[in-house]
Amino acid sequence: MNLAHIHIVLNHVPSLGSVLGLAMLVWATYTKNESLKKFSFGLLAVVALATLPTYLSGNAARQVIAKEPNALLGVVEVHQNGAMLTLVAMTFAGAFAWFGLWEIRRFSHPGSLTTWGTLLTSAAASALILYTANIGGKIRHIEIREAADSAITQSVGWKPAVEEFLARAWVIPAVATLHYVGMVLLFGVSLLLMLRVVGVMKSIPFSGIHRLLPLAIFGFVVNVFTGMLFYLQSPEGYVHRAVFQLKIGCILLAALPVLYFTVFDDPWKTGSGRSASALTKIAGIGAFFLLVAAIIYGRLIFISY
């Protein structure tokens, strides 16, 4: 199984999951079903995470298709353009959905702004995903192609414009600065969280650390966008490298304990002067060291270039 095969398997997750999550959230909002709303927020957050490896593996699939003599490279470029917009929209939808979960944990219900933000961004993401999936189907399925598809050229792609923008002297230093700011937010909050669950700051209740989690998610969103700009410089130099794949794997695994701290009751029971449960300790330590591993693998990408 190669990355192109993985893309074929993964692309069904955001395609179906985003539509299902949106439909559930619409119904939950209409019926004022808070339990269903919480579930739909969680589903959209997970789907947003799955969109990242789907996009990255899609670039690997593009490289395979480009070697075929009769490939419709213009259609491939249109598909890739749609995939980038989908990733952006789904990242915002996932961030809104996660914040909704955070508000439910903290205030027992999400704010109306969060709910509407999730509805609008997930609706945009779902529309883009369905459009992108439809274009992607034309790459392999000749039975759904239209006559005009063969006339599309690679000039419709964004690659030349993106490369020209990234080549400006100030862009990469600015992107790197923002990336490090996001990394500091992630590292700082995860370090505080780990120290609390192992008992170093036992007088601070978990609810106090919980207030800081949105800073970490903001840092993560910043790192997703700035990281993608690094990636767009040379997708071929990233996607097939083991250190890059390990970095993405660590990031996705680190999201699991973050969802645990956001959704489940057990960490919330860690009050002032109380020790965290074994599972909470494992989650806190795991999230921190997975983040550290992702940072190390990120540095190795440039060192071993």
Q: Per-residue pLDDT tens for 171-215? A: 989 999 999 999 999 999 999 999 999 999 899 999 999 999 999
pLDDT at 220: 94
| Res 154: pLDDT | 67
Query: Is pLDDT above 60 for 304?
Result: no
- For residue 241, what pLDDT band results from cuts at 50, 70 and 90? confident
Name the band, by pLDDT with cuts 50, 70 and 90, for residue 297: very high
Minimum mean pLDDT range among 19-23, 24-28, 146-150, 247-251: 146-150
HSE, CB side, 13 Å, CA atoms: give it for residue 202: 8
Tell me the longest C-alpha to C-alpha distance in the chain. 70
Answer yes or no: are the C-beta atoms of 166 and 120 closer than 8 Å.
no
Per-residue confidence (pLDDT) for residue 89, from 0 to 100: 94
Distance of alpha carbon 88 from alpha carbon 4, whole angstroms: 21
Per-residue pLDDT for 240 more than 90?
Answer: no
**b/e for 87-104, b at 16 or more Cβ within 10 A?**
bbbbbbbbbbbbbbbbbb
CB of 128 within 8 A of CB of 86?
A: yes
The mean pLDDT value for 34-43 works out to: 96
The mean pLDDT value of the chain amounts to 88
**Which of 190, 211, 196 has the alpha carbon at shortest distance from 257?**
190
For residues 248-257, give the mean pLDDT.
93
Residue-wise pLDDT for 43-75, tens only, equals 999 999 999 999 888 877 777 776 777 767 777
Q: Mean pLDDT over residues 128-141, rounded? A: 82
Q: Given a cut of 80, is residue 217 above it in pLDDT? A: yes
pLDDT attached to residue 149: 67
Given pLDDT bands bounded at 50, 70 and 90, which one contains residue 139?
confident
